[in-house]
Structure 1
Amino acid sequence: MNQMLQDAEVETSQAEISQADITPDTPAVPPVSEHPRFAKPQRVAFVQACWHREVVDACRVSFLKAIEARHITNVDVFEVPGSFEIPLHAQILAKTRRYTAIVAAGLVVDGGIYRHEFVADTVIKALMDVQLRTEVPVFSAVLTPQQFHETEVHQDFFRRHFVIKGIEAAEACANTLLSLERLRGQVAAGIAG
């Protein structure tokens, strides 16, 4: 692994979540001391599907807490009806050049006229296309479980899972933005490229 990537690595910390977010099944991780700071302010768009809001909200809440701990406090939240609508919103937001990153969150389950695997694959591919076309990093916490039932047990399980996914998305977002900030600085200085 190159030195630039090693410098950007930061441990994930679940200590950034309040006690109310932790259930007995949530694994405990020791707190991380300090996250690196950015040379320039960062602004992130968080695009959330409203289907199964009670589950997906857990991702947004944990993401916002974890990203703030990583010195990104400018986060705008956008809601869309379902996961299928996320890529178009992500593309429009990326083209504004207002955001340094976009994070997508949704839960795709069986039902409706589309198979959930088709929707999930389509959304992920489209998000990758947005990222490559615009050079604005796009992160996905769009999940599709093999079997999801509208029971309290499944909803609790996926709420806990989305808490973890929110933290992971924040870590990936912050680390990528730090890496890109360094890389763009090196390119501008003629060191890389």
Structure 2
Amino acid sequence: MRMSGAGAPKVTVDGTGLRVVVVAASWHEQVMDGLLAGARRALAESGAAWTEVRVPGSFELPVAAARAAAMGADAVVALGVVIRGGTPHFEYVCSAATSGLTDVSVRTGVPVGFGVLTCDDEAQALDRAGLAGSREDKGAEAVEAAVATAVTLRGLVPA
């Protein structure tokens, strides 16, 4: 069985001068603490300036990301956790967060790092949260993707 992080690139870019907004959900405190710690480490390493805002859950991430983009963020990092339960709620929230964040990025031209964990159980979330013993650090990966994309977009010039 392949681990989901297998083959992931290590992205390192200089984000000096970028303004990044981290939008983080509040559900699943232990996992969110790990995601936020990883995001903060990656942002500090990148040299980007950042602010953090919290929203109640992953469903609310797109509207906060849209506001951050409209207020001049060069990149947004969305962090959240959705754990499957016994109802279709999981599918609705995951779909809304994913399509909403994609829409924000495409519509505004502001990259959105996707750090929303969509897991079958809490153990999977903990394994991706960047905590001691975790196999992956999705908070850091979301920052790396957003900052690298913002740097790339700054380098694009009209033909």
TM-score (norm 2): 0.81
Please tell me whether Structure 1 or Structure 2 has the larger radius of gyration of its CA atoms: 1
Q: Compute the displacement of 1:129 (Å).
A: 0.7
Bigger share in strand: 2
Report if aligned partners of 1:104, 1:139 keep a CA contact under 8 Å in 2. yes
Partner residue in 1 for 2:24: 48
Q: 1:46 offset after TM fit, Å?
A: 0.5
**1:11 aligns to 2:10 (yes or no):** yes
Deviations 1:64-91 (A, max 9, x none): 111211221x111111111111111111
Deviation at 1:37, TM superposition (A): 3.2
Q: What is aligned with 2:118?
A: 144
Per-residue CA shift, 1:149-172, capped at 9, x if unaligned?
5xxxx2xx5334122101211221
2-side partners of 1:181 and 1:92: how far apart? 20
Provide the aligned length of Structure 1 versus Structure 2. 145
Q: Which runs of 5+ in 1 are unaligned?
A: 1-9, 13-34, 188-192
Deviation for aligned residue 1:132:
1.4
**Percent of residue pairs bearing the same amino acid type:** 32
Measured at CA, do residues 128 and 65 of structure 1 come closer, stay the same or move farther in structure 2, by a change above 3 Å?
Answer: same
Say which SS state the counterpart of residue 37 (structure 1) adopts: coil
Provide the rounded CA distance (Å) in 2 between the counterparts of 1:112 and 1:59: 25
Aligned match of 1:65: 41
Moved over 6 A (4+): none
Conserved 8 A contact 1:128-1:138:
yes
Unaligned runs of 5+ in 2: 1-8, 131-136
Contact 1:58 1:160 in 2 (8 A): no
Please state if 1:167 is matched with 2:140: yes
Q: Secondary structure at the match of 2:10?
A: coil
Of residues 89, 93, 114, the one that matches 1:119 is 93
- Alignment-derived partner of residue 181 in structure 1: 154
**How far 1:56 sits from its partner (Å)?**
1.4
**Distance in 2 of aligned mates of 1:59 and 1:182:** 29
Superposed CA offset, 1:171-193 (max 9, x none): 2122112211111xx32xxxxx3
Whole-angstrom CA distance in 1 between matches of 2:46 and 2:111 = 17
* Coordinate RMSD, CA, aligned: 2.1
